[in-house]
Amino acid sequence: MRKPFWLIDGKLREADFFLDKLRTSLALDDARFYFSAFVSATRSVTYAIQACLKRAPGFSEWYAGRRAELTNDPLAKYFLCARNTSVHVGLNPLGLLQRSMLGTSEFFLYGEKVPERNAVAGATRYMSSLVDIAGEAFSKFWSFLDLSHDVTLASLLRDGHSIEDIEAEFGLPKGWSRGEGRTDEERLELLKQYSRTDIQRLRQKYPMQAN
C-alpha cells in the first residue's frame, strides 16, 4: 500500500509556513529559529517524495533526473549543507545586515560560495525548485489528486475507475470511505475533499525562476 500523498503536501506547507515567518521576522534569534525549521522541512520534502513513490513504476528513473538537477544546483547544495550543519553541528548560517541609520535590516547567508546572500530570496528560489518537483510528481504518479467537483460516480465508472481505485492510490484501506450507511455518491464526495492539495497555490506563490 502506498504512503499517502499528504506527507509531501504537508512538508511543502510546513516549509512555506516557516519561510513566511522568516520574511516577517524582526529579531535575529527568531529568524534563525525559523530558518532552521525551514531547512529541515525542505529536506523532508524529497524524503517524503521517495517514501511515497519508491515502489511506483517509473519513479526511480524520473527521480534520478530530478535529483541530478538538485545535485547540480549550487543553491540546493547550499541549503542541503545548511540543513546538515544545523542538525549535526548546531551552526546556523543566518546573519543580520544593518543597512541604514534608521535600522532597516536584511537577513543574509554566510559561508563559502554562497550562491545567494539574501536569505529570503535564496529560500524562495529553493522553494520554487521543490514545489516544481513535487508538482510534477503529483501529476505524473497520481491520477485522482484535486478531483474536480464535476466528477460523478457515473463518469468515474465510465472511465474504468472505481472508488476503491481512488482509495488505493491515496494509500487508504479498501472501503475506508464507506462508513456507516454512506452511499457511493457520498463516498465520492468525501474522497474529493480528501484529494485536495495545496500545490496550485504554492505554484502560484513560488513560480519557477530563471537562473
> By three-state DSSP, how is residue 138 classified?
helix
Alpha-carbon distance of 165 to 162, in angstroms, equals 5
Domain match, 39 and 123 both: yes
Residues 101 and 24 occupy one common structural domain: yes
Please give the sequence-ordered ranges of beta strands (E in DSSP) within 21-101, or none if there are none: 94-98
Full residue range of the structural domain in which residue 129 is found: 6-143
**pLDDT tens digits, one per residue of 69-94:** 999 999 999 998 888 887 778 778 88
Please measure the distance between the N-terminal and C-terminal CA atoms of the chain and give it in whole angstroms. Answer: 39
Round to whole Å and give the CA distance between 200 and 48. 19
Q: In the structure grid, which three cell numbers stand for residue 170, read together?
A: 491515496
* 147-187 residue pLDDT tens: 999 999 999 999 999 999 999 999 999 999 998 789 999 99
* 82 and 185 part of one domain: no
| pLDDT tens digits for range 14-62 | 999 999 999 999 888 999 999 999 999 999 999 999 999 999 999 999 9
Looking at the fold, whether 99 and 112 belong to one and the same domain comes out as yes
Same domain, 46 and 139: yes
pTM (2 d.p.) = 0.90
